[in-house]
A = this chain, B = another copy of it.
Amino acid sequence: MCTNPNIVEVASLIGEPSRIAILLHLLGGKSLPASELARAARITPQTASSHLSKMVEGGLLVHESYGRHKYYRLASAEVAYALEALQAIASPKPIRSLRESDQLRALRYARTCYDHLAGQVGVALTDRLLELGLLQEEGKDFILSPEGKQRLVHFGVEVEEERKRRRHYARQCLDWSERRHHVSGALGAALTRRLFELRWIERLEGVRAVRVTTEGLQGLADEFGVVL
């Protein structure tokens, strides 16, 4: 076959345990230094360095240097979508250990996907925004209604800040665990940043899973009527 030799490169880059570990770690959305990625994948810095340069070469990652540190992040939202699409195939399979089961349950409940909120909580919040008419579906995107804009500005989300950028403003992102959409793009990211700011959600140590705090539970119910 000779359609697109590149897809082989991309897929074989993803199809390696250490590199998957790195990619899934970066799917949390943050830029992370090589050393931390090495630790996450449980490999030595030498090995990680080799993997990282291959993934940059292959278009999966980009990096920025700050002094002696080098921060890596996913090259684009497309990479995140591809990873999620692979998870969508991979997830229906049976679960092995109880330990994994707990981790998976936590991921399904709430996690960051690239830079926005996903999982049951992400989908539930998106659903409420739609029900309240603050958001409307339009093709593969969402649009923010005038009331939605007002309401989110009042809530402290930098609604306009990101609109200038090239990036999709409010994209529909398919949730692999819920198999429904949640808000992605610049708006999804800004909203999620605000939830972290308010400490309604907190990152769990070392994993992509996210915890909803008691204030968050209360706040989401009061502010948006989200029931979890």
Q: Which residues of A contact B (CB under 8 A)?
A: 1-17, 20-21, 24-25, 40-42, 59-60, 76, 78-79, 81-83, 85-93, 96, 99-100, 103-104, 107, 137-140, 172, 174, 181, 207-208
* A99 contacts across to B, CB distance below 8 A: 2
Cβ contact within 8 Å between B17 and A8: yes
How far apart are the CA atoms of A25 and B1 in the complex, in Å?
A: 8
Number of copies: 2
Nearest B residue (CB) for A174: B140
Q: Give chain A's interface secondary structure class.
A: helix
Q: Give complex CA distance A176, B172 in Å.
A: 16
CA distance A24 to B6 in the complex (A): 13
Residues of B within 8 A of A92 (CB): 59
Let me know if B96 and A88 touch, CB within 8 A: no
Cβ–Cβ contact B81 & A88, under 8 A: yes
